Amino acid sequence: MELNYRNTREDHKAFAKWSWRDSKNSQKHGYYRSLLWYSSIFALSFYLCFLAQNVFIACILAALCVPYWWHNKSFEKKWLESIEYAITKRQDFSATTLVDDKGITESYLGLSVHVPWNQIHEYAIFDGRLFITYLTGSSFIIPLQDIGDLKKDELVRTLTDRGVRQAAQP
C-alpha cells in the first residue's frame, strides 16, 4: 500500500502533544508549585517591607511581582509555548509511505527511512493524525485527511495483523 501526504508544523505540534502527554501532569504540578513558592516569597517580602515601613522597596517588589504573575498565570500557555519551541526547526514536506511485507518505508526531502515490522512499537490516532512509533520519540506522522478513510482502515488493519499494539488514548 502506498500513502501520499503532506506533513505540516501542525502535524508535528500534534505529535509533540501526544508524545509528551504522560509528562504533562507532573510538569503542571511542578509549574504551579514553583508559582506558589515564588508568590510566597513575594508575599513575605511585602510583609517585611510594610513592617519596616519601607514603601520604596515595596513598590520595587510590586514592579517585579506584577509582570511575573502576568507572564506565569497559565500553565497551558507555557505548555503550548514549549511545544512551539520544540517544533521551530520543523518544516512542511510531502512524503510517500510504502507499507509492505518487510515493514514501513517513508520517503521525504530526498531521504528514505525503512523500519522493519519487529521494530514498530505502537500506533495511535490522535487529533486527526495517525502516529506509528518505531523508536522512542520517533514516529511516522500521517494526517488522516490526506489518506482517506479506506486507506486508514486498511493501514490500521495491517498494523493490527502485524502485532503492532494500539497506544492508550489520553
List, for residues 48-60, the tens digit of each pLDDT value: 888 888 888 888 8
- Phi, psi of 76, deg, nearest 5: -60, -40
- In the block, cell 510517500 appears at 96
The whole-number pLDDT of residue 170 equals 58
87 in Cβ contact with 12 (< 8 Å): yes
Mean pLDDT of 11-28: 81
For 43, the grid coordinates are 508575599
Determine the pLDDT at residue 167.
86
pTM above 0.95, yes or no: no
pLDDT at site 157: 92
CATH code reported for the domain at 2-15+91-166? 2.30.29
**CA distances for 62 relative to 8, 51, 55, 145, angstroms:** 43, 16, 10, 50
CA 108 to chain CA centroid, nearest Å: 22
Residue 115: the pLDDT is 93
The rounded distance, in Å, linking the Cα atoms of 86 and 120 is 24
Q: Poorest-confidence range of 59-68, 70-79, 131-140?
A: 70-79
How far, CA to CA in Å, does 13 sit from each of 8, 9, 25, 53, 111? 9, 6, 18, 51, 22
Is the per-residue pLDDT at 105 higher than 90? Answer: yes
Helix, strand and coil in the chain, % to nearest 5? 55, 25, 20
Judge whether residue 104 has pLDDT over 90. Answer: yes
**Angle, vertex CA 134, rays to CA 130 and CA 139, nearest 5:** 40
The β-bridge relationship of strands 129-135 and 138-143 is antiparallel
Burial 78-110 (b: 16+ CB within 10 A, else e): ebeeebeeebeeeeeeebebebeeebbbbeeee
